[in-house]
Structure 1
Amino acid sequence: MVEYVVITDTSCLILLDNIQALHILQSVYNHIITTAEVAAEFKKPLPEWVQVMPVRNTQLITIYSLQVDMGEASAIALAQEVPDALLIVDDFKGRRLASQLNIKFTGTLGVLIAAKQQNKIPSLRPYFELIKSTNFRIDPLLLERILKDLEN
């Protein structure tokens, strides 16, 4: 289990919930936090192991929401306030903004890859097949390349 704080955006929660794999997030990372804005976008009760933390500098949310959606803006703002946090963000604009701000980030696929590398799951393939059945936009060739690199 990785020992740093993880801040998740809505897309990770929604996608993992849609494929009945939300528990993987907890198995890979021990301290998961998010914002009230992300919790509202998720539209379901969060698991008890996800801590909701307010962003102190709400002006950052306003500024970032000009570039990304409100959930991402709040998660990115919180990532700036929490030292050495890892941000989970999938959206290209969110990842670009996180990169510009020197915030360490991964995506939902990165969570699944970490789970495989830590032997929390035996194979990525069943999860990738489930992802393909959702509306999550990902290049199927990328999924196949990851499988080829990590499972052969």
Structure 2
Amino acid sequence: MVIADAGPLIGLARIGCLDLLRALFGGVTITAVVAAEIGIDAEPDVCADRRPGASAIAKAREAGWLSIVEPTAVPDVEPLNPGVDSGERTTIALALHWQAAGAQVLVIVDDRCGRAEARSRRLPIIGTAALLVVAKQQQLIPACAPLMAALREEGNYLSDGLVAAVLAEVDEA
């Protein structure tokens, strides 16, 4: 089961690469809290569309490969890290809930605090940059460099070290 936080979805949607998630994983789940952060509602036909990427993400839901889980279905967890936001908290809670039920889980999260929280709870994680590496390795995209640049242009923080590591990993350095 793949559970995503808002940041990676928004970033990929803004650069026109949201469908990479469907190609890589088949389906992705988000919590209702994450849906609200993105600007889509728990109701299928409601999209605030005021936030960048919201329309593309709402279309993924309509297509059936992005699903939303209501918070009542997920036990809450108290974050160990005070920097964890409510979207990350509910994403981690859902992953822990499914993991406890025996499911294999993967958490898609970019924020440093959210990643640290997931790691401290022994949850497997992947970020947007690593998703691009996997997409290139699976020949879903021709190159990572232009997409990394586009993410930066859209306001995603990617350190120079991360960009260099990604480009070296995919022989684009």
Give the TM-score range, shorter chain. Answer: 0.7 to 0.9
Q: Which is worse superposed, 140-149 or 36-45? A: 140-149
Aligned to 1:21: 17
Shift of residue 126, structure 1, vs aligned partner: 1.5
Letter in 2 for 1:32: V
Structure 1: segments with no counterpart, 5+ residues = none
Please state if 1:59 is matched with 2:76: yes
Give runs of ≥4 in structure 1 deviating > 2 Å.
Answer: 54-59, 64-67
Provide the C-alpha distance between the structure 1 equivalents of 2:134 and 2:86, rounded to a whole number of angstroms.
27
Q: Check whether the contact 2:130–2:166 (CA below 8 A) recurs between aligned residues.
A: no
Kept in 1: contact 2:75–2:97 (CA 8 A): no
Aligned counterpart, 1:87: 107
**Structure (1/2) with the larger strand percentage:** 1
Distance 1:119 1:70, change over 3 A: same
Residue 69 of structure 1: aligned partner = 85
In 2 relative to 1, CA 57–129 (structure 1 residues): closer, same or farther, beyond 3 Å?
A: closer
Counterpart CA distance in 2 for 1:100 and 1:146 is: 24
Task: Name which of 161, 164, 169 aligns with 1:141.
Answer: 161
Number of residue pairs matched?
A: 146
Equivalences for residues 43-58 of structure 1 within 5 A: 43=39, 44=54, 46=58, 47-48=60-61, 49-55=65-71, 56-58=73-75
Query: What residue ranges of structure 2 are gaps of 5+ in the alignment?
Result: 40-53
The alignment-based identity, stated in percent, is 30
CA shift, 1:21, in A, is: 1.0
Q: CA RMSD in A?
A: 1.7
C-alpha distance in structure 2 between counterparts of 1:67 and 1:84, whole Å: 26
Letter in structure 2 aligned against 1:59: D
Pick closer, same or farther for the CA change 1:149–1:113 going to 2, 3 Å: closer
2:118 is equivalent to residue 118 of structure 1? no
